[in-house]
Amino acid sequence: MSTNTTSRRALNRVAASAFAGTAMEWYDYILYGTASAVVFAHLFFPSHDLAVATMLSFATFAAGFVARPLGAIIFGHLGDKLGRRTAVIGSIVLMGISTGVIGLLPNYPAVGIIAPLALLLLRLFQGISAGGEWGGAMVLVLEHAPKKKHGIYAAIPQLGSPVATLLSTGALAIVATLPNDDFLTWGWRIPFLMAFPFLGVALYLRFRVEESPVFKQMQAEHVVVKVPLVSAIRHTGGRMLLGGMAALLGGSGFFIMTTFMISYGTNVLGFERQTMLNATLFGAVAQIVVIVVSGRMADKIGAWKVCAGGALISALAAFPVFALVDTGNAALATLGVVLGMGALTIPYGPIGSLLSGMFPAQYRYSAMAVSYNVFGIIGGFLPIISQVLLVQTGNASWGVALLLMGVSLISMVGAIGAGSRGVAAKRAKEDIAEQARGTSDSDDDMVPA
């Protein structure tokens, strides 16, 4: 059995770092998604047809998701070979710089085709960074935390997403109060430039974090595998598939309720831009509550049950959510967004606990990051798929509601599969092997809280 220990103080530092770093990462990522709905179509993709310009803008948003598996491979390899801490520091530096530089870009009228190409390149860098961030932050926290509290500690990095939504959408909502010409000329740049000071704060916190005790023990016992991803696919390929399916809703459905919904509400239903941004802010507040509750529930009844049940609730809520938004009433539309974001967040809270428990420590970072982000590619295309469905149905929302329902059901099936007896039995055998060589991250490795 390993003798690694993690003090309460050190654990709190890790949790705070994971939260702050993930919040900063997703601030940058969500900011781009929101801006693609309200800014980039006008400044970087000029077209006589707003729907076409919006789809082009959403296409660059999707490109970041295509790059995420590459980031998962790169940072996952670094995390499993050189250390979790090293990888998450690298991922956040890349995200902060690429996002801040977006705020400095000239628009299409100034430099022509160079503007959208530069925007696309920076978006790809964002995607590579995001591909490594989530898995690294989650593994680092959970390898410090006792297993009996994995649900709530897995929820802490997840809180970074709604907090980032509040920060990024709130920042855009504030500058959106400027006269339209000022907003499109310089106002939209301010939230992106804020990524630079945020990066400084996140780096300060991450440099104060200790390496995972599980990884330290792996190094001491010389059990670090040569090519972690290859080992992960060879031994746990089926589990990676189930894990990616389970994570699909929380990591992807979110962008239907934010990026697409903002565009749909303003461009099709005629809501004020401020109304849809405010609805997203209220939804983010609801997400914070849901993440904490679902994390605690996972510690009581099991992460897979919470993930499966939450996905089912999201599937059942899909059509009612769009029905509320389609009323054209600002209050009811806001309620619809809040309900939709809240429902899909139920499985998002404990998904890290579910995935972490599916893979051995030697390639846990790679397996989690790749499975999460390969399926995350779908999320990047959901706004543009939703836009296409909207056009094909004559601006009717039923096609998008059906899409959200389908994504929810896929996650439900994945969560049920991840919680199956077969997966549990295989992990039990791997735990025995880990404990025999001293690399287990069981409760016995931790200092009591």
Cα dihedral sign, 279-285-289-291: positive
pLDDT classification of 266: cutoffs 50, 70, 90 = very high
Q: Say how far apart CA 172 and CA 54 lie, in whole Å.
A: 18
User: What 8-state DSSP symbol labels residue 350?
Assistant: T
- Closest by CA to 276, choosing from 172, 420, 415, is 172
The CA-to-CA distance between both ends of the chain, in Å, stands at 19
Is the pLDDT at 265 greater than 90? The verdict is: yes
Would you say residue 57 has pLDDT above 70? yes
113-129 average pLDDT score: 93
What does the pLDDT look like over 124-133, one tens digit per residue? 999 999 999 9
Residue 205 pLDDT greater than 70, yes or no: yes
pLDDT tens track for 130-185: 999 999 999 999 999 998 999 999 999 999 989 988 888 788 888 888 898 898 89
Are the beta carbons of 228 and 363 closer than 8 angstroms?
yes
Residue type (1 letter), 54: T
Q: CA–CA distance from 84 to each of 69, 208, 209, 351 (Å)?
A: 17, 13, 10, 19
Domains and CATH numbers, the chain: 8-438 (1.20.1250.20)
Contacts of 18 (CB under 8 A, 6+ apart): 137, 138, 140, 141, 156, 157, 160
Let me know: does 367 contact 323? Beta carbons within 8 Å: no
Collapse the DSSP code of 438 into the 3-class scheme (helix H, G, I; strand E, B; otherwise coil) and give the result. Answer: coil
| d(C-alpha 282, C-alpha 165), whole Å | 10
DSSP state of 211: P
pLDDT value at 46 more than 80: no
pTM: 0.85
The span from the CA of 151 to the CA of 385, in Å, is 33
**Is a pLDDT exceeding 50 seen at residue 448?**
no
* Closest of 422, 225, 410, 171 to residue 314, by C-alpha: 410
Neighbours of 233 (CB within 10 A): 17
Four-residue CA torsion sign, 275, 280, 281, 286: positive
Give the distance, in angstroms, between the CA of residue 70 and the centroid of all CA atoms in the same chain: 15
Task: Give the separation between CA 133 and CA 75, rounded to whole angstroms.
Answer: 8
What mean pLDDT value characterizes the chain? 88
